[in-house]
Amino acid sequence: MTEFWLISAPGEKTCHQTNLSTNHKFNIPELKVGTLDILVGLSDELAKLDSFVESVVRKVAQYMDDVLEDSRDKVQENLLANGVDLVTYVTRFQWDMAKYPIKQSLKNISEIMSKQVSQIDNDLKARASAYNSLKGNLQSLERKNVGSLLTRSVADIVKKNDFVLDSEYLTTLLVVIPKTSYPDWQKTYETLSEMVVPRSTKLLFEDQDSGLFSVTLFRKAIDDFKHKARENKFMVRDFQYNEEEMKADKEEMTRLSTDKKKQFGPLVRWLKVNFSEAFIAWIHIKALRVFTESVLRYGLPVNFQAMLLQPIKKNVKKLREVLQDLYKHLDSNATVIDASMDIPGLNLSQQEYYPYAYYKTDCNLLDFK
């Protein structure tokens, strides 16, 4: 399981290892407590900050998955915190004194985190928007070159010598014919209208269902020919051979493809660095929440032990019961309190309330299909 329970109880005692979970000591430094009023307000603010930062962490992870479209097995190896995998980071958590100086008030520390992650969120929106737009434009150009002969671009199929060009009187049309109708086409195309050049049709390309034929005729017969062709279920493509336009399309595709490759490397690096930053901030927020909640529950002087439990899936229910027995003396009402009761300073956005401080963290940030 990638799910962890961060809990705390008063005193130095720690949970013993059991066969219900893997347990780790979770070290929180001596932070500045401030006044009770501040702690009560901060408890609510930290709950909101926790949700916001988790959403940014998940967004960055999901976008990494989107960007690494052909190498999704590489996603997990890019989602690291301080260069190690997430489970290792969480189980060996050490407070980062340089990023979040503990001489500052709890409120200041939470504001540093909030500012930092908001910046990541804004940058992600801007970078994702630019990259998605590039990717979208490239995909729509690529889509033009695939699909049915009735709709796809034929620019990469035809050549200059397939057309009568620069003639005042003659022109070449392209017609899509279902394979089953080839014999009908050969028999009838010269008589569909007047002024069709005899023996002028040529098969230029075919896919599974149809063929693309050229036919030459006098310009003044175009409308009549198109009308008669439609009646016979022969579809005339609306196409003018224009070398300049075709060259411009090709150049645009090359440019977009080059731009995408150029942006890919720096974008993945940015995502990797900022995923790590956001995840580290998130786990520090969990530490702040446990600290704040523990002081509000167990009072001063600060004396509690935080523990990180990694439950074994089949034993989750049993683990809850063991913890309940172990800590029920801390709050005899804990079993009957539910989330609809409003207790100042205790954030009960979680559906249950336990006699010990409890926060859940899940390191599985992607829903792999």
Instruction: Work out the average pLDDT over 137-157.
Output: 89
Q: Pick the range with the lowest mean pLDDT from 64-68, 227-231, 319-323.
A: 319-323
Q: Does some domain include residue 196?
A: yes
Q: Is the pLDDT of residue 17 over 80?
A: no
With contact defined as beta carbons under 8 Å apart, do 179 and 192 qualify? Answer: no
Same domain, 266 and 208: no
- Region of residue 104 (phi > 0: left; psi between -120 and 50: alpha; otherwise: beta): beta
Q: Does some domain include residue 262?
A: yes
Same domain, 8 and 130: yes
Instruction: Work out the average pLDDT over 49-65.
Output: 96
Residues spanned by the domain of 16? 3-141+257-362
Report d(CA 18, CA 316) in Å as an integer: 12
pLDDT recorded at residue 333: 67
Same domain, 205 and 267: no
pLDDT recorded at residue 327: 86
Q: Does some domain include residue 151?
A: no
Instruction: Work out the average pLDDT over 313-319.
Output: 86
CA dihedral (53, 58, 59, 64) positive or negative: positive
Q: Is the pLDDT of residue 117 over 90?
A: yes
Residue found under tokens 């040529």: 202
Q: Does some domain include residue 247?
A: no
Same domain, 128 and 262: yes
User: b/e for 160-173, b at 16 or more Cβ within 10 A?
Assistant: eebbbeeeeebbbb
Query: Which residues of 219-341 form beta strands (DSSP E)?
Result: 235-237, 304-311
With contact defined as beta carbons under 8 Å apart, do 183 and 171 qualify? Answer: no
Same domain, 211 and 290: no
Instruction: Work out the average pLDDT over 74-91.
Output: 93
Q: Does some domain include residue 194?
A: yes
Report d(CA 267, CA 60) in Å as an integer: 11
Q: Report the Cα–Cα distance between both ends of the chain, in Å, rounded.
A: 18
Q: Does some domain include residue 250?
A: no
With contact defined as beta carbons under 8 Å apart, do 207 and 149 qualify? Answer: yes
Tens-place pLDDT, residues 150-165:
999 898 899 999 999 9
With contact defined as beta carbons under 8 Å apart, do 50 and 43 qualify? Answer: no
Instruction: Work out the average pLDDT over 30-42.
Output: 90
Tens-place pLDDT, residues 237-291:
999 999 898 899 889 999 999 999 999 999 999 999 999 999 999 999 999 999 9
pLDDT recorded at residue 13: 62
Q: Does some domain include residue 152?
A: no
Q: pLDDT band at 34, cuts 50/70/90?
A: confident
pLDDT recorded at residue 300: 86
Among 207, 240, 273, the domain boundary falls at 240
With contact defined as beta carbons under 8 Å apart, do 110 and 42 qualify? Answer: yes
pLDDT recorded at residue 20: 84
Same domain, 182 and 62: no
Q: Is the pLDDT of residue 191 over 60?
A: yes
Q: Does some domain include residue 321?
A: yes
Instruction: Work out the average pLDDT over 9-16.
Output: 71
Give long-range contacts, CB 8 A cutoff, 24+ apart: 311-319: 311/1, 311/3, 311/5, 311/20, 311/21, 312/1, 312/19, 312/20, 312/21, 312/22, 313/1, 315/19, 315/20, 315/21, 318/20, 319/18, 319/20, 319/21
pLDDT recorded at residue 288: 97
Same domain, 232 and 270: no
- Specify the number of domains making up the chain: 2
pLDDT recorded at residue 334: 61
Same domain, 26 and 83: yes
Same domain, 128 and 261: yes
Among 240, 266, 285, the domain boundary falls at 240
Same domain, 129 and 267: yes
Q: pLDDT band at 2, cuts 50/70/90?
A: confident
Report d(CA 232, CA 192) in Å as an integer: 9
Same domain, 22 and 134: yes
CATH of the domain at 292: 1.20.1460.10
Same domain, 22 and 72: yes
User: Tokens in use for 116?
Assistant: 């930092």
pLDDT recorded at residue 73: 75
Q: Is the peptide bond before 301 cis (omega within 30 degrees of 0)?
A: yes
pLDDT recorded at residue 341: 47
CATH of the domain at 210: 3.30.70.100
pTM of the model: 0.80
Residue found under tokens 């023996």: 199
Report d(CA 136, CA 210) in Å as an integer: 29
pLDDT recorded at residue 336: 41
